[in-house]
Structure 1
Amino acid sequence: MRQAAAPASPPRPTLQSVLRRAHLRLAFVAIAMAAVSLILVAVIALRAYAGNNLNLLVRSLGYTVEAALVFGDRVAAAEAIALIANKEDVAEVIVTDGKGLPFAAWQLPAGSTIARLERDVADIALPGPVTILVLHDGIVVGQVEVRGQGHQFFGFLLGGIGGILACLAVSVLGAYVSSQRLLRNIVAPLRALARVAHAVRRERAFGQRVEPVAIAELNELGDDFNALLDEFEDWQNNLREANVALEHQANHDALTGLPNRVQFESRLASALSAAAVTGQRVAVLYLDCDRFKEINDCLGHEAGDVVLVGIGARLRTQLREIDLVARLGGDEFAVMLAPMREAASAGRIAEGLLASMAPMIVLPDGRTVATMISIGVALYPDHAGDAVGLLRAADAAMYRAKRARPGSWQFAEGVAGPA
């Protein structure tokens, strides 16, 4: 039964987008709170100012209609009210006589929808109708009631809303500019650090470093990251050196520094594969020190080690750069000559190797040691078709040379002479 695929996780927001949204929210909240606070303060102040104006206006109207109330002149009262109310921010004026009966009134025409909206806002935000008693010689002769229009308050409210929107637009622009600066000062260094981290993780590029930046915290983070990369680079270099050393130890003889049997057989197999394609010969020389056991028994193992090192060095000097000499173990060495154009060349090289052993080997204590080697030579494809068979044929030829005359060389059986 197939399992249902896990739902894909939503994309994560970038640091730049998070900072930009945070700036926009902060700017919006700050401007909104400041605007609301200012509007509340202004509304309270304007309400108090409107109340004072209405109180002054109602007193003025009371003085104006006092005579008309005393003499009962309704027309004069109405004209006086209209003369004053038309010039003020007034929606309605009602005058009653001493008995509370309507005497005169003035009301602002209904007008447009905006005018009606202004009155609705005034009814909610401004003080209620202001009333004053009209006195004549200490006797109440009437009452004047005034209701504000709210035109000035409505204009202030619209202006405040427009100011808030303008401030929000400016804040958005400022947040965008600020986010661009953050991109340069904060996000860009973090992106650079992330690029270096990705390169180190994917490409093992431990040599890369984070550049210094202006912000102290980010610069300190970059320094710590660079220090960590330094440690990783040192660790990688040490590991590489250790691997090289281990590889060298696995493929080379610890005493002489020459390739060991494993490397010799591997390179011999590669050379035989190439020779099978090109049709050329490959020669293997198997060498053995004739007096090595005697040297070890009489002079000690340290002297034997010096002799082996000396033999390896002399063999190396007699060969070409493309030839390979190896220590197979104990006092046995092997040489690979590839390519070989003719069998006689292998014999001449064997003669040269024997001749190189003639000088005495000087020990650290000043004593000298004479040494000889016996050599067996085998050719591909004359004596064997693989590495194991070729080494076996050369080894057998070396033992025949040692039995016939120590310090000599012989071809493997099957070759009568140089070809």
Structure 2
Amino acid sequence: MRQPTAPALPGRPTLQSVLRRAHLRLAFVAVTMAAVSLIMVAVIALRAYAGNNLNLLARSLAYTVEAALVFGDRIAATQAIVLIAKEEDVAEIVVSDSRGRPFAAWQSPTASAIARLERSVAGIALPGPVTVPVVHDGVVVGYVEVRGQGHQFFGFLLGGVGGILACLAVSVLGAYVSSKRVLRNIVAPLRALAGVAHAVRRERAFEQRVEPAAIAELNELGNDFNALLDEFEDWQNNLRHENASLEHKATHDALTGLPNRWQFEARLMRALDEAMVTGQRVAVLYLDCDRFKEINDGLGHEAGDAVLIGIAARLRTQLREVDLVARLGGDEFAVMLAPMRELASATRIAEDILSSMTPSIALSDGRTVATMMSIGIALYPDHACDANGLLRAADAAMYRAKRARPGSWQFAEGVAGQA
């Protein structure tokens, strides 16, 4: 089951965003440093290569124009350097005589912006012009000066920049894939744990648990958190059990297990409120044991308790599930019949209760005790419209029945009927 996740606090980045930015920064720094290092090494190597190449080219040109310098043939010298220059990556070739006066020259056209950019880059990155002497029979007859064009170097530079951008793109993609894996292995378990903690804090859902994680530390953290939830759940269950036990003790009689006077009056008031809306009747039967004092004084309190428990058990068997029977105190009991559609139902139940008391009650020592009940019946709204009034009317009717004939029932004054 997917756990609910706790929302991030406003203004604070999520762990996922922090890790993702860290991956991207690491990838960017690593690729940039590697690219810069490679480019620097390549530039140094290319610079040395370009210097050697220009020096070889200059020596080759010196051999080529040697005869032209000796014979003073400027045209032949110019044709020779032009023929070679067209095949090489050079920007300018200058041939001078032994006194350093220009003898022949060639310069690469720089009409295009790219050519001018290449020459500017070459002037910064490549070694300066290479000058070699032209020697004839051991005598210097002139000099050849060669300056590089930088076309190859510029192409390498563009390729290097393109390679860096491609590596950055691949690194970003790799960092994204890596962050997804981090999210699955690290962030997802932490989110699940935070979701469970949020549910526990807001909803007191101590039954929720954190799923196992693939990473050992996170799995151990989840196990510890689940153990803590186990303790909280046990504590909550014990607290609920204690509260239910306290509530039961506060609303039930300790000896018979029946509802006590407080619960009876509370439920009677709710029944009267509903009857006021529906227009139905509610009946209250007030019961008293006729021989309880004699039994309690003659046979002892244990025998009296056994009689009260036996009376409670017999009362339960004579009532519907919707009816309520309670012990009000001592040997007094009360029954609420709600709703009561027919008046005869109250008299029938009273007769059934009296009949159920006829058999003797067996005591723990083997003796038996006979007992009788006197019952008073009061009706809503015939005799009273509130709980206290109904109880008083039923109590008065019970005492009239006890005085008239123990073991009988009577209605409250105002309704005829007597057993």
TM-score after normalising by structure 1: 0.85
Aligned runs of 1:195-274 on 2, under 5 Å? 195-274=195-274
- Which whole-Å deviations, capped at 9, do the CAs of 1:348-390 have from their partners, x for residues lacking one? 4334333333333333233433433332222222322211011
How far has the Cα of 1:324 moved from its partner? 1.5
Moved over 6 A (4+): none
How far has the Cα of 1:155 moved from its partner? 1.1
For 2:80, the equivalent position in structure 1 comes to 80
Which amino acid is the alignment partner of residue 288 of structure 1?
A: D
Q: Given that residues 342 and 418 in structure 1 are in contact (C-alpha distance below 8 angstroms), is that contact kept between their aligned partners in structure 2? A: no
How far has the Cα of 1:225 moved from its partner? 4.1
For 1:337, the equivalent position in structure 2 comes to 337
User: Secondary structure of the equivalent of 1:258?
Assistant: coil
User: Secondary structure of the equivalent of 1:110?
Assistant: coil
Q: Given that residues 97 and 143 in structure 1 are in contact (C-alpha distance below 8 angstroms), is that contact kept between their aligned partners in structure 2? A: yes
In structure 2, the CA distance between the partners of 1:278 and 1:107, relative to structure 1 (3 Å rule), is closer
How far has the Cα of 1:345 moved from its partner? 4.3
Report whether the alignment pairs 1:383 with 2:383.
yes
Report whether the alignment pairs 1:400 with 2:404.
no
For 2:27, the equivalent position in structure 1 comes to 27
Report whether the alignment pairs 1:156 with 2:168.
no
- Which whole-Å deviations, capped at 9, do the CAs of 1:289-327 have from their partners, x for residues lacking one? 334344444444333322221121122222233322100
- Which whole-Å deviations, capped at 9, do the CAs of 1:54-111 have from their partners, x for residues lacking one? 1222222333334444444444433333333332222222233333333333322233
Structure-1 separation of matches of 2:319 and 2:207: 41
Q: Given that residues 411 and 418 in structure 2 are in contact (C-alpha distance below 8 angstroms), is that contact kept between their aligned partners in structure 1? A: no
User: Secondary structure of the equivalent of 1:413?
Assistant: coil
For 2:276, the equivalent position in structure 1 comes to 276
Moved more, 393-402 or 232-241: 232-241
Structure-2 separation of matches of 1:72 and 1:320: 140
User: Secondary structure of the equivalent of 1:128?
Assistant: coil
- Which whole-Å deviations, capped at 9, do the CAs of 1:155-196 have from their partners, x for residues lacking one? 111111122222223333333444444454444445455554
User: Secondary structure of the equivalent of 2:258?
Assistant: coil
Which amino acid is the alignment partner of residue 393 of structure 2?
A: A
Structure-2 separation of matches of 1:180 and 1:390: 74
How far has the Cα of 1:226 moved from its partner? 3.9
Which amino acid is the alignment partner of residue 147 of structure 2?
A: R
In structure 2, the CA distance between the partners of 1:375 and 1:417, relative to structure 1 (3 Å rule), is closer
How far has the Cα of 1:253 moved from its partner? 1.0
Structure-2 separation of matches of 1:190 and 1:138: 85
Aligned runs of 1:29-68 on 2, under 5 Å? 29-68=29-68
Moved more, 37-46 or 105-114: 105-114
Structure-2 separation of matches of 1:15 and 1:401: 81
Structure-1 separation of matches of 2:83 and 2:272: 127
User: Secondary structure of the equivalent of 2:285?
Assistant: strand
Moved more, 406-415 or 200-209: 200-209
Q: Given that residues 344 and 418 in structure 1 are in contact (C-alpha distance below 8 angstroms), is that contact kept between their aligned partners in structure 2? A: no
User: Secondary structure of the equivalent of 1:270?
Assistant: helix
Which amino acid is the alignment partner of residue 328 of structure 1?
A: L
In structure 2, the CA distance between the partners of 1:99 and 1:277, relative to structure 1 (3 Å rule), is closer
For 2:3, the equivalent position in structure 1 comes to none
Moved more, 36-45 or 389-398: 389-398
Which amino acid is the alignment partner of residue 49 of structure 2?
A: Y
Structure-1 separation of matches of 2:21 and 2:275: 72
Structure-1 separation of matches of 2:342 and 2:322: 16
User: Secondary structure of the equivalent of 1:127?
Assistant: coil
Aligned runs of 1:362-377 on 2, under 5 Å? 362-377=362-377
In structure 2, the CA distance between the partners of 1:69 and 1:348, relative to structure 1 (3 Å rule), is closer
In structure 2, the CA distance between the partners of 1:277 and 1:126, relative to structure 1 (3 Å rule), is closer
- Which whole-Å deviations, capped at 9, do the CAs of 1:112-170 have from their partners, x for residues lacking one? 22111111111100111122233445444333322111111111111111222222233
Q: Given that residues 409 and 418 in structure 2 are in contact (C-alpha distance below 8 angstroms), is that contact kept between their aligned partners in structure 1? A: no
In structure 2, the CA distance between the partners of 1:289 and 1:87, relative to structure 1 (3 Å rule), is same
In structure 2, the CA distance between the partners of 1:113 and 1:261, relative to structure 1 (3 Å rule), is same
Report whether the alignment pairs 1:290 with 2:271.
no
Which amino acid is the alignment partner of residue 327 of structure 1?
A: R
For 1:324, the equivalent position in structure 2 comes to 324
Runs of 5+ in structure 2 lacking a partner? Answer: 1-8
Q: Given that residues 343 and 418 in structure 1 are in contact (C-alpha distance below 8 angstroms), is that contact kept between their aligned partners in structure 2? A: no
Aligned runs of 1:179-198 on 2, under 5 Å? 179-198=179-198
Runs of 5+ in structure 1 lacking a partner? Answer: 1-8
Structure-1 separation of matches of 2:359 and 2:412: 28
Q: Given that residues 410 and 418 in structure 2 are in contact (C-alpha distance below 8 angstroms), is that contact kept between their aligned partners in structure 1? A: no
Structure-1 separation of matches of 2:388 and 2:275: 16
TM-score after normalising by structure 2: 0.85
Which amino acid is the alignment partner of residue 38 of structure 1?
A: L
How far has the Cα of 1:14 moved from its partner? 4.4
Structure-1 separation of matches of 2:163 and 2:327: 94
In structure 2, the CA distance between the partners of 1:110 and 1:336, relative to structure 1 (3 Å rule), is closer
In structure 2, the CA distance between the partners of 1:278 and 1:10, relative to structure 1 (3 Å rule), is closer
For 1:115, the equivalent position in structure 2 comes to 115
Q: Given that residues 401 and 409 in structure 1 are in contact (C-alpha distance below 8 angstroms), is that contact kept between their aligned partners in structure 2? A: yes
For 1:95, the equivalent position in structure 2 comes to 95
Q: Given that residues 271 and 282 in structure 1 are in contact (C-alpha distance below 8 angstroms), is that contact kept between their aligned partners in structure 2? A: yes
For 1:359, the equivalent position in structure 2 comes to 359
User: Secondary structure of the equivalent of 1:282?
Assistant: strand
Structure-2 separation of matches of 1:91 and 1:145: 11
Root-mean-square deviation (Å): 3.0
Which amino acid is the alignment partner of residue 317 of structure 2?
A: T
In structure 2, the CA distance between the partners of 1:271 and 1:141, relative to structure 1 (3 Å rule), is same
- Which whole-Å deviations, capped at 9, do the CAs of 1:222-257 have from their partners, x for residues lacking one? 444444444444334333333332332222111111
How far has the Cα of 1:38 moved from its partner? 1.1
What fraction of aligned residue pairs are identical, expressed as a percent? 83
For 2:5, the equivalent position in structure 1 comes to none
Which amino acid is the alignment partner of residue 162 of structure 1?
A: G
